[in-house]
Structure 1
């Protein structure tokens, strides 16, 4: 991949596919952002922006759901985060489950 293509304004331009490839290359390189950018002749602010956009695009969000009137017997909830970290939260009742989920959703604001 040639990272020195010029769009006429003196700046390199990248297709969406090239951006995805460079982000993946960075993630598997084991290099710091600065070292990776030097190696690939890439502006460090550009890589930082791409990584931020990717992180925002992949964020998990909550939505409100209505529980049926049927009793649900749950004594714990397993939450698996995008990075595969798992959190087990004890839930003594349906009311506590609703409260827990509302509180978790509030952390996203």
Structure 2
């Protein structure tokens, strides 16, 4: 069993205990920062899929005449011309 599988099993066990992360990680002999990191990492992967990509919704059939809105997970919204795919690509890579 690799580290990710081991931590995933611990996170699933944690969810059934009703304990705080600090208490659970102390009982398992794991540092709280390490457990919290894996908890958040696995939660985020599950919420957006294992690939790390977010779905893109488009309105209309052509990007060239449309404005594209990029919404980052932290809530920041950017509106850019859809025809400028290079700019759009660079904005996505920023996150």
TM-score under structure 1 normalisation?
0.45
Pairing 1:19–2:7 present: yes
In the alignment, which residue of structure 1 is the partner of 2:79? none
Flag the structure with larger Rg.
1
- Structure 2: gaps (5+ residues): 49-53, 62-68, 77-95
* 1:40-96 deviations in Å (ceiling 9; x for gaps): 11110110110121123223333033546xxxxxxxxxxxxxxxxxxxxxxxxxxxx
Q: How does 1:1-109 map to 2 (within 5 A)?
A: 15-60=3-48, 61-67=54-60, 106=71, 108=73, 109=76
State the 1:30 CA deviation. 0.5
1:62 is paired with a residue whose SS is coil
Q: How many residues align?
A: 65
Alignment partners' CA distance in 2, 1:56 and 1:41: 24
TM-score under structure 2 normalisation?
0.51
Alignment partners' CA distance in 2, 1:106 and 1:16: 29
- CA-atom RMSD in angstroms: 3.0
